[in-house]
Structure 1
Amino acid sequence: MLLWYIPNQVQPGHRGDEVRADHNSLDTLTEQAKALEVYGWGGALLGTGFGRPDTFTVATALATRTTTFRPLIATRPGYWRPANFAAAAAALDHLSGGRVLVNIVSGKDNLAAYGDSEGDQAHRYGRTREFMHLVRRLWTAEDVTFHGEHFWVDHSTVVPRPLIKQPRLYFGGASPAAERVAALEADVQLFWGEPLDGVAERIDRLKKLSADLGREHAPLEFGLRVTTFVRDTSAEAWAEAEARVAAMQTDPNQHTSVGQQRLLDLTARGDVLDENLYTAPGRFGGAGAGTTWLVGSPAEVARALKRYQALGITHFVLSDTPYLNEIKRQGEQLLPLLTAS
């Protein structure tokens, strides 16, 4: 699965994107979604967080204006209750011809702004696991009664059913608590752009953890969410990547998650790892998937991604800015190298 990223931001200029007044209008977002279809992408992860346009509403609007575009809808337990979300996602999946993908997010958010709260890490991930477990049951069973520590339903049946048995559940997180949730309930564990040895170690650990915990679902799959900085030649890519980093403002990451801290710690190993994994952006405020970049020519970046694929990565969520321009550039230059037999 080859996906892109649509940031879904109120303010323009996200990570160096083009600054335009209509950057998040339906027409602009539709232009991106349709370009993804034209250039061979499977769909896009849609950013979420209170203070952004509602992600599910945006996904629904884009689904009505496209034919093959698959929205990977980021959502948070607490922002939705499980039965409400299961019903909404099932309806959209049914109406869109089975195109819904779901990314469950447990990271920090402005919880109080929408009347939510949570306790410590154990509470947060306990709630996340319960949310995923109950949503799965509501998509696949009828007359569901469930009384958990965080959520409950009595005699609940979701109609219409998802077109396929259930939308895929993507998940991220690097802490031990997060990895237990992934091993038990996720379909796809997403990693950020770590070096190959770190990704290999995490895949091995999650496979063993799945077996040790008695995972009841199909085997866990793995994905990579990373910035891909592609130019015609290696020299051009590195010159532009270094210039972009030089222009970044130092903005120390606050309240970093375990996964974010893993990326920031990579700078101690060097600015460039595994030939073309660029760690320097993290020193200047790069966060999330923008903390590390895969830099190079199309052939070099494709070769790097195929090394991750050889480790067991089967889902990729790529991006760079300007978003629309890079949808086209990487769709023309990178994707054919990844899909060639």
Structure 2
Amino acid sequence: MSSRSEFLWYIPNDVKAGHRGDVADPDHNSLDTLTSQAEALEQHAWKGALIGTGWGRPDTFTIATALVARTTTFEPLIAVRPGYWRPANFASSAATLDHLSGGRVRVNVVSGPDALAAYGDQEGDQAHRYARTKEFMRLVRRLWTEENVTFTGKHFQVAGSTVAPKLAPIGDRRHPKLYFGGASEAAERVAATEADVQLFWGEPLDGVRQRIDRLKTLSKALDRDLPPLEFGLRITTLVRDTTEQAWADAEAKVAKMAKGAAGSWQDHRHGIAVGQQRLLDLARQGDVLDDNLYTAPGKFGGGGAGTTWLVGSAEDVARSLRRYEELGITQFVLSDTPYLSEIKRQGHQLLPLLT
């Protein structure tokens, strides 16, 4: 694969044990447990990990800060919500952690449903939500790259704002990358003008190809004034020594999910966004799409990146990921459970085939 491609994992910060069928360990959310995952990612050549967000979960930014302090190369992809943070507060926090870590911060801006009232936030319709997200991303980037920023928008305002510490350029990197997801028309218009990386869920190749083409066209139509949009894939990868073993294990996992015995709790419980619905609809086309994209988990409680799985030997999964890269994907966020052992297994078996 291209040397431009980067491979990250997922760290499931949550007060509930047994996330997506992981071991229901009472120590699952301790600093030592989460650090062991971050350290294993470093040791097995992963770039870093997405750390999810949502009200009722531990604070994502705090966990990212703790893990950065305990590691040397691990890069947290920190999920944040525009209504949970004000732009200047967030820009300052992220700039501080980026400075302390030597430039290891990445940011995933999330606009999907959440328990907004629980933290005093409110949103209007979809157009309002994405208009606010657009302002948030534009203003945060300005605060990272300019001084004495004054901005008056419909949702956010600052006057004479200068973030300290000032971000130091690292090569051609001027600030943390802003990742963004969302499949609705409103979301894609935000991605086309404001995001550095558009993240896709695990759709079939044709669906991803169409979305990349549409986003490139939108970027031109909307006069994008940033470097070209990059594209990423967030998906479950179930890897075993042989193709046969992988499918046997995948089908056994789904059978447990169907019985409600696999800890089917998932991250997308506050409502179904357009991108999530696209994944759920795939099951109507068949249990297996392309060569090895397994849609059955979505029927039985798999949500988000757990809705569809790439299943097979390391060679099978690597072949599929290369096909996504040929479409233009350069950022890969993979995962499977149990998290720690799969960091090691896929770091040992899969990553050498991709880097």
TM-score (norm 2): 0.94
The alpha-carbon deviation at position 19 of structure 1 amounts to 1.5
CA-to-partner distance for each residue in 1:51-75, whole Å, 9 max, x for gaps? 1110000000000000000000000
- Matched residues in 1 for 2:162 and 2:61: separation? 21
Task: Look up the match of 1:264.
Answer: 280
- Matched residues in 2 for 1:111 and 1:258: separation? 19
Task: Look up the match of 1:190.
Answer: 199
- Identity level (%): 73
Alignment partner of 1:202 is 2:218: no
Task: Look up the match of 1:310.
Answer: 326
- Matched residues in 2 for 1:161 and 1:56: separation? 19
- Equivalent AA in structure 2 for residue 196 of structure 1: L
Q: Are the aligned partners of 2:113 and 2:270 in contact in 1 as well (CA < 8 Å)? A: no
SS class of match (1:36): helix
- Matched residues in 1 for 2:178 and 2:166: separation? 16
* Shift in CA distance, 108/128, structure 1 to aligned 2, threshold 3 Å: same
Q: Which of 58, 61, 68 does residue 63 from structure 1 map onto? A: 68
- Equivalent AA in structure 1 for residue 323 of structure 2: R
- Matched residues in 2 for 1:152 and 1:22: separation? 42
Q: Are the aligned partners of 1:97 and 1:163 in contact in 2 as well (CA < 8 Å)? A: no
Trace 1:114-153 onto structure 2 (pairs within 5 A).
Answer: 114-153=119-158
Q: Which of 228, 232, 255 does residue 223 from structure 1 map onto? A: 232
The alpha-carbon deviation at position 256 of structure 1 amounts to 1.2
Trace 1:24-173 onto structure 2 (pairs within 5 A).
Answer: 24-164=29-169, 165-173=174-182
Task: Look up the match of 2:3.
Answer: none
Trace 1:230-249 onto structure 2 (pairs within 5 A).
Answer: 230-249=239-258
- Matched residues in 2 for 1:27 and 1:299: separation? 33
Q: Which of 283, 293, 296 does residue 312 from structure 2 map onto? A: 296
Task: Look up the match of 2:336.
Answer: 320
- Equivalent AA in structure 1 for residue 192 of structure 2: A
Q: Are the aligned partners of 1:273 and 1:279 in contact in 2 as well (CA < 8 Å)? A: yes
Q: Are the aligned partners of 1:253 and 1:285 in contact in 2 as well (CA < 8 Å)? A: no
CA-to-partner distance for each residue in 1:5-57, whole Å, 9 max, x for gaps? 00101011100111111111111111000000000000000011111110000
- Matched residues in 2 for 1:254 and 1:111: separation? 10
Q: Structure 1 runs of 4+ off > 3 angstroms?
A: 249-254
- Matched residues in 1 for 2:270 and 2:286: separation? 22
- Equivalent AA in structure 1 for residue 103 of structure 2: G
Moved more, 200-209 or 162-171: 162-171
**Structure 1 unpaired stretches of 5+:** none
Over the aligned positions, Cα root-mean-square deviation in angstroms equals: 1.1
- Matched residues in 2 for 1:172 and 1:306: separation? 21
Task: Look up the match of 1:331.
Answer: 347
Q: More relative contact order in 1 or in 2 (CA 8 Å, sep 6+)?
A: 2
CA-to-partner distance for each residue in 1:76-116, whole Å, 9 max, x for gaps? 00100000000000000000000000000000111011000
- Matched residues in 2 for 1:163 and 1:85: separation? 17
SS class of match (2:354): helix
Q: Are the aligned partners of 1:9 and 1:24 in contact in 2 as well (CA < 8 Å)? A: yes
- Matched residues in 2 for 1:161 and 1:3: separation? 27
CA-to-partner distance for each residue in 1:127-157, whole Å, 9 max, x for gaps? 0000000000000000000000000000000
SS class of match (1:23): coil
- Matched residues in 2 for 1:159 and 1:239: separation? 53
SS class of match (2:166): coil
